Amino acid sequence: MNLKDELIKIVGRDYVLDAAEILEQYSRDHSFYPARRPNFVVRPHNTEEVQEIVKLANRCQVPLIPASSKAHFHGCTIPKQGGIVVDMRRFDRILEIDERNRNVKIEAGVTWGQLQSTLAQHEGMVVGPLMPHPEKSVITTFLEREVPVIQIYEYREPLLSMEVVWPTGDVFRTGSASAKNYPNTLVKGVCPVGPGSVDFYRFLEGAQGTMGIVIWALLKFEYRPRVNRTFFVPLRSPAEAVEPFYRIGRRKIGYECLLLDKTSLISILTREPRFDAGSLDHVLPDWCLILVLSGSRARPEERLAYEEEALRETFKNEFAGLQLLSSLPGVPGIEHKLPDWLRDTWPQGLPFWKHSFKCGCEDLPFISRPERVPGLLEVAAGVAGRYGHKTGDLGIYVQPLENSRACHVDLSFYFNPDSASGMEWTRRVYAEVALALMNSGALYTRPYGVLADLVYGRASSYTLALKKLKSVFDPNHIMAPGNLCF
277 versus 443: smaller Cβ distance to other proteins? 443
What's the rounded Cα separation, in Å, for the pair 364 and 266? Answer: 19
Q: Which stretch binds other proteins (CB under 8 A): 111-119, 265-273, 317-325, 463-471?
A: 463-471
Asked if 309 touches other proteins (CB under 8 A), the answer is yes
Near other proteins in 28-87, by CB under 8 A: none
CA 460 to chain centre: 26
Asked if 453 touches other proteins (CB under 8 A), the answer is no
What's the rounded Cα separation, in Å, for the pair 15 and 470? Answer: 29
259 versus 480: smaller Cβ distance to other proteins? 480
Near other proteins in 334-393, by CB under 8 A: 367, 369, 371
Q: How far is the CB of 282 from other proteins (least distance, A)?
A: 37
Q: How far is the CB of 254 from other proteins (least distance, A)?
A: 10
Asked if 319 touches other proteins (CB under 8 A), the answer is no
Tell me how long the chain is. Answer: 486
Binding mask 411-450 for other proteins (x = CB under 8 A): ---------------------------x--x-xxxxx---
Alpha carbon distances (Å) from 33 to 360, 388, 453: 11, 22, 14
- C-alpha dihedral, 467 to 471 to 474 to 478, nearest 10°: 70
Asked if 236 touches other proteins (CB under 8 A), the answer is no
13 versus 316: smaller Cβ distance to other proteins? 316
Asked if 472 touches other proteins (CB under 8 A), the answer is yes
Judge whether 177 and 187 are in contact, CB under 8 Å: yes
What's the rounded Cα separation, in Å, for the pair 90 and 154? Answer: 34
136 versus 470: smaller Cβ distance to other proteins? 470
Q: How far is the CB of 149 from other proteins (least distance, A)?
A: 17
Which strands, in side-by-side order, build the sheet including 228-235? 228-235, 287-294, 257-261, 394-401, 406-415, 360-368
Q: How far is the CB of 373 from other proteins (least distance, A)?
A: 13
Alpha helices (H) along 344-400? 373-386
Asked if 459 touches other proteins (CB under 8 A), the answer is yes
Asked if 93 touches other proteins (CB under 8 A), the answer is no
88 versus 484: smaller Cβ distance to other proteins? 484
Asked if 220 touches other proteins (CB under 8 A), the answer is yes
Near other proteins in 146-205, by CB under 8 A: 153-155, 157, 160, 170, 172-173, 175-176, 178-182, 184-205
174: number of CA atoms within 13 Å, CB side? 28
Task: Report the 10 Å Cβ neighbour count for 17.
Answer: 18
What's the rounded Cα separation, in Å, for the pair 57 and 258? Answer: 44
Instruction: Give the chain's largest Cα–Cα span.
Output: 76
